[in-house]
Amino acid sequence: MIVDSLKENNFPNHVAIIMDGNRRWAEQRGLPRLEGHRNGLENMRSVVRYLGECHVKYVSIFAFSTENWNRPQDEVLGLLRLLEDRIDHEAREFHKRGVRLRHLGGLDGLSPHLRQAINSAVELTQNNPGMTLSFAFNYGGRSEIVNAARRIISDGIPPEKVDESLFRTYLYTNGMPDVDLLIRTGGELRISNFLIWQTAYSEYYFTEVLWPDFNEQEVDKALLAYSQRQRRFGRL
Ligand code: IPE
Ligand code: IPE
Ligand code: MG
């Protein structure tokens, strides 16, 4: 395991992942699109487990963006159904392993059943001591920021009190550290509106590997690349 050969201070505390490439993975195999998403979900479980073994404390996963509603209806419904079918089981499994689950994103537009399942998963695991796994579903970075600004105004906070440290407490990621390493699979070189505040000073790692193929060796490559970066935060 690569973690053993890297120095602790070269190790990310918070890893965010844009798991992209499910559809192309399925297409390459002549499978229906949803099979790609199903395999993507399986892979998420094993990557999260591995990152936990590597002592990464925060993992944030982009699973469905506010822009993904614009996909064909059958794909959107399929994705929602996949989550509905699996969320309770997955939540119980993560709970057994001491993982704390969080949801990043809005609940608007989701079925009452899904909303309730998301809330119960978060509640069930809220006091767990292990990794914090944040699941960005129905998430958009700009809308997160606009939503924060609205709540600051409706809470009647005076302008001079609004600074970065107050602002971040209004984000979905309240209480979490900034992202150290952002991984995007699937070959696109963009962040697609994911955690735009929280990745302002992150290291980026892009790979052509499609998400269902992103295995432990690929995680190691990303962690190794991160360990060789020099983070300066504007300093010398
Ligand atoms: C990412 O895979 C998963 C979601 C956006 C839900 P895609 O479905 O975007 O796969 P590609 O990028 O089209 O291959
Ligand atoms: C980003 O992937 C969103 C998720 C991985 C959930 P997309 O496939 O939707 O991103 P774009 O459209 O290529 O930017
Ligand atoms: Mg994609």
**Which domains does the chain carry?**
12-227 (3.40.1180.10)
Alpha carbon distance 131, 134 (integer Å): 10
- First vs last C-alpha separation in the chain: 32
The answer to whether residues 141 and 197 touch, using CB atoms and an 8 Å cutoff, is: yes
Alpha carbon distance 142, 57 (integer Å): 25
Ligand nearest to the CA of 186: 1
Q: Can you point out the beta strands (E) in the chain? A: 14-18, 58-65, 100-104, 132-139, 181-184, 203-206
68 pLDDT band, cuts 50/70/90, is: very high
pTM: 0.97
Given a cut of 90, is residue 175 above it in pLDDT?
Answer: yes
Q: Whose CA is nearest to atom 14 of ligand 1?
A: 21
Alpha carbon distance 99, 82 (integer Å): 21
Q: Whose CA is nearest to atom 1 of ligand 2?
A: 192
pLDDT score, position 8: 65
CA 200 to centroid of ligand 1, rounded, Å: 24
Residue 59, beta-bridge partner list: 15, 133
For residue 67, which atom of ligand 2 is closest to its CA?
9
Q: Which residue numbers are catalytic?
A: 20, 68
Alpha carbon distance 184, 223 (integer Å): 13
- For residue 68 and ligand 1, the question of a CB distance below 6 A is answered with yes
1 pLDDT band, cuts 50/70/90, is: confident
Q: If you average pLDDT over every residue of the chain, what do you get?
A: 96
